[in-house]
Every structure is written in structure tokens, then in C-alpha cells.
Amino acid sequence: MKAKLTVIALYLVTLLSSPATFAAEGSSVVATYFHTTFRCASCHKIQNFTEEALQKGFAKELASGRLKYRVINTEEPGNEHYVQDYSLYTKSVVLSLQKDGKEVGFKNLDKVWQLLNDKDKFVSYIENETKSFLDSN
């Protein structure tokens, strides 16, 4: 399991640091899992289910840079502003619509906690919301 997570992490780091990803002009969607330093089993579950939903449903969009995924600790220096930017009060998944490098809209996927005990519904929720954001640009 640890080896699998390492491979996934390396893939995401490579994807997010690719020049082609950041050079893309126009519209994109950024999916972000926001967490704090302390994370319980449920917090890790949200991250894992979100990653699975995005990789399963949007491999092509992730590879092209049209969809980006990142994980941010809001307690690390410089990241505190996200709490205010997105009115975060707990660990959250936020979709952000970017046009020409600027955020033009976002949605906090607040049902992730409600759907946590039903993986299929959770994954479907992430996929449907992400598809809606991708289709809007």
C-alpha cells in the first residue's frame, strides 16, 4: 500500500510540476484537498477517495493539464489565506475554475463528509461536480 501511494505521489508531483501543465492558456479546473497537520482516518479517506475519483474519471484531463489536482496543508506557512479565501472550517475538497491563470469561480464540495461512508456515492459526487466544472469552460 505504501509503495502504491508513493507511486501516486510521484505521478502527481510530476504532473503538477510539468511545464506544459503551467503553460496551458485558457481555462482549467483545479481540484484541491485542503487539510490541516493533524489528519484522522476519515481525513485520509477523503483524500484517497478524491484521488481515486479524479484518476478514474479524468485521466485524460489530468494528463493534459485541463484538470489539476493538489493537496494543501492550510497550516503550513503561506497557506493560511486559503481558510479565508474558501471559508474553510474543516478539511475540504474545493473545485476552482481558472481562466487565463485567474480564479473566476469555485465550489466547496461540502458533501464529502456526508458521503464518506458510501464510497460509490462519494466518488460519483466528486466525478459529477468535476465534470460540471470542466463542462462550464
Cell numbers for 98, please give them.
481558472
Give per-residue pLDDT as tens, 42-75.
999 999 999 999 999 999 999 999 999 999 999 9
For the CA atoms of 71, 56, 108, 40, the dihedral, rounded to the nearest 10 degrees, stands at -50
Residues spanned by the domain of 76? 2-135
Instruction: Report the half-sphere exposure of 91 (CA within 13 A, side-chain side).
Output: 22
Candidates 81, 91, 101, 87; CA nearest to 30 is 101
Q: Which three cell numbers stand for residue 116?
A: 464518506
List the one residue out of 109, 112, 95, 102 whose CA is nearest residue 61. 95
Whole-structure pTM value = 0.80
Query: What confidence tens digit (pLDDT) does each residue in 112-130 have?
Result: 999 999 999 999 999 999 9
The domain tally of the chain equals 1
**Paired residues of 97 in beta bridges:** 29, 105
CATH number (domain holding residue 96): 3.40.30.10
